[in-house]
Amino acid sequence: MRIPSSLLTLVALVLAACGTNPVTGKREVQFISAAEEVQIGEKNYGPTRQSEGGDFTVLPELTNYVNSVGQKLAAVADRKLPYEFVVLNSSVPNAWALPGGKIAINRGLLTELDTEAELAAVLGHEIVHAAARHGAKAQERATIMQAGMQVAQIGAVVGGVDANLTNLMLQGAGAGAQMVQMKYGRDQELEADRYGMKYMKAAGYDPTGAVTLQETFVRLSGEGAKQKSWLDGLFASHPPSMERVEANRKSVAEFGAGGEIGADAYATRLKPLLDIKPAYDKYDAAMAAAGKGDLGQARKLAGEAAKLVPQEGRFPQLLGEIALAEKKPKEAISYYQKAIQLNPGYFGSYLGGGVAQYRAGDKAKAEQWLTQSAKLLPTAPAAYFLGNVARDKGDTQGALKLYQAAATSRSDIGQNAAAELVRLDLPQHPGKYLATAPQLAQNGRLMLVIENRAALPLSDIQVTPVMVDASGNIVRQANPVGIRQVLKPGERAAVDAGVGAVSQQNLPAIRFRVDTAKVAQD
């Protein structure tokens, strides 16, 4: 039996990429170097923080506290990395780590913890995910699977399969979010628990905090009232189980109980956050009301939240979004200006404000705010409205590039961008949006089969039948064929090409040149 060369290449790559895990000491495949891990984390940390709620700036001392606990654990970790710890402005209870030691915890998880030891258990767990290369391993597994399946997928790729799963984030900005949402395997979770407890003990914390933490998580996983938020957050990527509780108890017996619990210290540090939590509860309720279309209730709750915590930029941002939904762009702008003033480092206020400025007619300010939004987090809406600005200024090439970027999003905004792309590009390149093929009718006459591959209905189509030589040069052409009917997106039609007595032998030499087409009027 002959072994495929692709398989031999894959085996050689795997053998060449073997290394030792810096935490467990086990041999494993390592395609991604330590320097590449750090680079991945540094590249994705900013955009991922933006996409997961943005930094929590109202209480900067809270991030300082979390970072101090995290750095104690990082100092005793088996692997030295440029560890960073931030608190994100999200009520969803979650924590995550990117390769290279870039770690975040949501304020929504902090309010569910009771002690500093439990916080250390969360952060130690995430440190292990980074130190033990769990995120890097997921990418390496994808590399191996891709290489192993390459031969089998050639037919599918040639057949035109489009596996584009891009969401609103563009230009690779969603890569970090995909890593954050990745579900770790059972062995990795147990590994992160065990070594995280080892780090807790070495840093002076009581590892029983990891037991009480998991017991709380198991309890919450069964509570219907909180199930949705937890399933959207930590439990999606870090599923709790009694198996993990029992494993943690065994680890306590191994490492020894005792050490800092820090209940009073944690309560003191968390009190400012717990004091303002009612405002964020109102904000979450306002978001839910807005999602149901009850803008009046959403406005009321967002206004109450803003009065409770006037330094939080997310509250006026929501009021701006409500005003924008009510088609009041000038009113929305004032809210967005306030939000930007309070938190100039968050993309969402610039994005919403840029849309409001565009709709209010200030395209210069719209371009400024949308550009800043895209710098913080490249998104399809920013690209689409920047495309509109470029189009309105007569910058056709700039608009085309921006629409192309936005059109990769599988969303309503992506569809709108694809439509604008057609409107701009169709006059110059009608052949890009209409597929043609020759076909012989039973009476021997030449038929033109034409399909609309644009995102919009097309009409007033003119096509010229041509005959080409072996080099593709036109040697003869017939009279143009006019197609007056409207072709909807994806629709196909067969039209008499006005040419008779064509032989089957000559059919491969016949082409159709698309001369003109227009977007059909509504």
pLDDT in tens, 177-202: 566 556 677 888 889 999 999 999 99
Are 359 and 392 in contact by the 8 Å Cβ rule? The answer is no
Is residue 25 scored above 80 in pLDDT? no
Mean pLDDT calculated for residue range 484-502:
90
Res 411: pLDDT = 85
Return all residues near 39 (Cβ < 8 A) that are at least 6 apart. Answer: 100
| Beta-bridge partner residues of 183 | none
Least confident of 46-55, 95-104, 127-136, 186-195: 127-136
Is the pLDDT at 213 greater than 60? The verdict is: yes
If pLDDT is split at 50, 70 and 90, which confidence band does 19 have?
Answer: low
The mean pLDDT of 57-75, rounded to a whole number, is 97
Task: Check whether 12 has a pLDDT greater than 60.
Answer: no
Least confident among 46-50, 103-107, 475-479, 496-500:
496-500
Q: Per-residue pLDDT for 335 more than 80?
A: yes
What is 275-294 written as a DSSP string?
A: HHHHHHHHHHHHHHHHHTT-
Question: What secondary structure letter does DSSP report for 6?
Answer: H
pLDDT band at 397 (very low <50, low <70, confident <90, very high): very high
Choice among 26-35, 46-55, 91-100, 192-201 with the minimum mean pLDDT: 26-35
pLDDT of residue 18: 65
Distance of CA 142 to the CA centre of its chain: 18
The arrangement of strands across the sheet holding 434-440 comes to 434-440, 446-452, 492-496
What pLDDT, on the 0 to 100 scale, is given for residue 181? 59
Give the number of other CB atoms < 10 A from CB of residue 500.
11
| Cβ neighbours around 302 below 10 Å, total | 27
Q: Which residue has the higher pLDDT, 7 or 445?
A: 445
Q: Concatenated DSSP letters for 411-461? A: SHHHHHHHHHHHHHHTTT-GGGSEEEEEEE-TTS-EEEEEEE-SSS-EEEE
- Asked if 136 contacts 32 with a C-beta cutoff of 8 angstroms, the reply is yes
**Residue 502's pLDDT is what?**
81
Mean pLDDT, residues 211-237: 72
pLDDT attached to residue 8: 44
Residues 346, 367: Cα–Cα separation, whole Å: 17
pLDDT of residue 14: 44
What pLDDT score was predicted for residue 189? 86
Q: How confident is the model at residue 128 (pLDDT cuts 50, 70, 90)?
A: very high
Would the pLDDT of 512 be above 80?
yes
What's residue 284's pLDDT? Answer: 94
> Residue 79: which of 18, 20, 32, 2 has the closest Cα?
20
d(CA 7, CA 17): 15
pLDDT at 177: 58
**Residue 4 confidence (pLDDT) above 70:** no
* pLDDT tens digits, 353-366: 999 999 999 999 99
pLDDT score, position 488? 95
Q: Read off the pLDDT of residues 257-301 as tens digits, 9 standing for 90 and up.
A: 999 999 999 999 999 999 999 999 999 999 999 989 999 999 999
Q: Is 370 exposed, middle or buried (0-12, 13-18, 19+ CB in 10 A)?
A: buried
Chain centre to alpha carbon of residue 105: 18
- The pairing of strands 481-483 and 458-468 is antiparallel
pLDDT (0 to 100) of residue 147 = 31
Residue 123 pLDDT class (50, 70, 90 cuts):
very high
Residues above pLDDT 90, as percent of the chain: 66
CA atoms within 13 A on the CB side of 178: 15
Residue whose pair of structure tokens reads 């089998």 in the numeric block: 152
Three-state SS for 137?
helix
What is the mean pLDDT of the segment spanning 115-129? 96
- Token match 């309720």: residue? 285
Residue 378: per-residue pLDDT: 92
pTM (2 d.p.): 0.83
pLDDT of res. 169: 62
Strand partners, 379: 169
The whole-chain average pLDDT of the chain stands at 85
pLDDT exceeds 70 at position 152: no
Q: pLDDT band at 521, cuts 50/70/90?
A: confident
- Distance, in Å, from the CA atom of 354 to the CA atom of 348, rounded to the nearest integer, reads 10
Q: Please name each of the domains of the chain with its CATH number.
A: 33-255 (no CATH), 278-378 (1.25.40.10), 380-425 (no CATH), 432-519 (2.60.40.1620)
Q: Is 206 exposed, middle or buried (0-12, 13-18, 19+ CB in 10 A)?
A: buried
**pLDDT at residue 522, rounded to an integer:** 67
Give the residue from 7, 40, 22 showing the smallest Cα distance to 140. Answer: 40
Quick one: CA torsion of 362, 367, 372, 374, rounded to 10 degrees?
130
pLDDT at 231 over 50: yes
Is residue 30 very low, low, confident or very high in pLDDT (cuts 50, 70, 90)? Answer: low
Lowest mean pLDDT among 164-168, 396-400, 422-426, 518-522: 164-168
- The answer to whether residues 513 and 466 touch, using CB atoms and an 8 Å cutoff, is yes
Helix, strand, coil share (%) of the chain residues, nearest 5: 55, 15, 30
- Of the candidates 6, 252, 1, the one whose C-alpha atom is nearest the C-alpha of residue 151 is 6
Q: How far apart are CA 305 and CA 287, in angstroms?
A: 12
Report the share of the chain in percent with pLDDT over 70: 82
pLDDT at 292: 92
